[in-house]
Chains A and B, each alone.
Chain A
Amino acid sequence: MIAQQAYLDDFDWTSWDPVFLAVKVVLVFTVLLVSVMFMVWFERKVVSDMQNRIGPNVAGPWGMLQTLADGIKLFFKEDLTPAGADRFVFKLAPYLSLIPAFLMFSIVPIAGDFSDGNDGSVELFGQTFVWQLVDPPMGILLFLAMSGLGIYGVMLAGWSSGSKYPLLGSVRASAQMVSYEAALGLSLAAVFLSSGSLSPNEIVRAQADGPFGIGGWNVFGLGFVPFVIFLIASTAELNRPPFDLVEAEQELVGGFHTEYSSLRFSLFFLAEFMNVVTMSAIMVTLFFGGPHGPVFTETLGWAWGLLWFVLKVLVFLFTFVWFRATLPRLRYDQLMDLGWKLLIPLALGWFLMLGALRVGQNEGWNPFAVIAIGLVVIAAGGALLAGAIRNARVGRTESDVLEYG
């Protein structure tokens, strides 16, 4: 509350132009919708390429308008509400998953000049502004809160359908998303440690100075591990393959959205793919310097930022599609094992090691010694954990034998 008040006091109200803000909102909204349209097409096309198929190729050039055609079709479909559904929650749920998906993107800086210590502001149309809808000082917390809220959409959709498969899907969803949220948050903490801020703009700015133009990016500075954990946890958070147990078609029909049709179904679909785009953008912001990148010619000016940003996001979109085409779905217990027994301890251990490095910088310790000791501690902790798990399993088997003969 105090921080909020300080933020409001510091806020420069003279520069606050509601019309300009509205224009930015509409722009972000449109860009996001178009990118979702593109993403669905991209995913279908790349997956079909990876499976030696042709993919959509009828609507528009290379089938690019396929998503639009599907969207229009969904508009005209019959909208069904199951008899056993909780009608209010059933209708609320799609919006609960769509609105957070939209809000999440508002904190992402999508362009701007971050080189040479600039703060990313751009002068255009007589306005000086940053290429992001808002830059709240607790920006990344907003992201965490919104991705947490998105779970409610999935959970309530399954629960309110009044049908068994959606319910199973949503039970899986809540368990999966909550457990991976922990690993996600812990790997994020490492980013806060290095940038010293929760504001996306400042996180990008902190990554801007480093050797070779890209040396300051968090993915290198934090030693890859937090990034890998974030990538895996965000795949699980997005319910994308190989973590798509929520909508495992072979077992649960469609999962949480089985009972949805028409526009409500398309809202879930929209939210899901929007989350993929947003999560890629967040990942780029946190670990890959956002719009920051080497500038080769001065003529493009601030557009370099936009170019780099789009390129980096594209790489991650491709990665998510690649995951989907390559990896088989995890079993439910494997999913929980990976989250609780590997990702969370590893994220925690790595975070502690980065913290020790930070302290060591102030105290003048040898950083290599700190890393070596840190790795030994992590390895020892991992061995202890593995031993404990094995011991528990042996105990369980013995008690099973005693009980059931």
Chain B
Amino acid sequence: MANLTLVQAINLALIQEMERDDRVIILGEDVGVNGGVFRVTEGLHKRFGAKRVVDTPLAESGIIGTSIGLAMAGLRPVPEIQFDGFLGPAYDQICSHAARMRTRTRGALTVPLTVRVPVGGGIHAPELHSDSPESIYIHTPGLKVVMPSSPYDAKGLLISAIRDPDPVMFFEPKRIYRAFREEVPEDEYTLPLGKARVVCDGEDMTMVSWGASVVQCMQAIERSGRRIELIDLRTLYPFDMDCVETSVKKTGRCVIVHEAPKTCGFGAEIAARIMERCFLHLEAPVQRVTGFDTIMPYYKLELDYLPDADRIARAIEETAAY
């Protein structure tokens, strides 16, 4: 075991997968000599060489488009898009091609690529460096979407993503890149995509979240003194509705928390599924604590935008009192 940050856990997963499988290559802006702007790929260029850890031209569409080609030819590319806000130019390649290739060719050509993207706010970053666009990709059939909230999960989920036969968007919450450490096995392990993690058990209420917001949820739960079952979805597509259903049928109350804007945020889908599966078990309306339907503000006001323990605690109390 090693006591690792989320950055170090991802770095270790990349090293182990590259050692295990020479089809795995890394490409992106500044991922090579510089080791990535967050140092996630630190040391990999030296270790595996410029052939497998490639500093590309500055072109997100190019990075993903060529990765699709590499993947269709049988490699396992792990491209990095440097920040959430720079996904724009890559959108066409991800959604028009990566997501559709298996279907279009009836499986003759597939795209086993894993797109790593630092995501979310809370690090005092400039404009377009703090967005939470996961819903756009969850809403694109053909993609899998993962967002870990801990070093242990990050390592196991990334290895599963790389080995997955379909394209995976792997969102890394940059707010917790170095916020805490966790014991992470140095040996190889995988965690299944599509399985949630019950962070803590509880009878009074269910809370569903993912990514960096899980930390805020834990703070709010601790403060409330209530027995709240916190579910970290970990994989946002395919998502573990069975886990949510079991919990909500037990508790009858549910609060969903995410950083992304409210409208068409993934919380809306979870809430609708709860209506479908648990309606007769509900004691209170399902609540969402989310970012607002605004542009993510520059960092002076970002903490007013992001769901924090106070806002979550208020939703807990109102949901409990309903």
A binds B: no
Q: Which residues of A contact B (CB under 8 A)?
A: none
Q: Which residues of B contact A (CB under 8 A)?
A: none
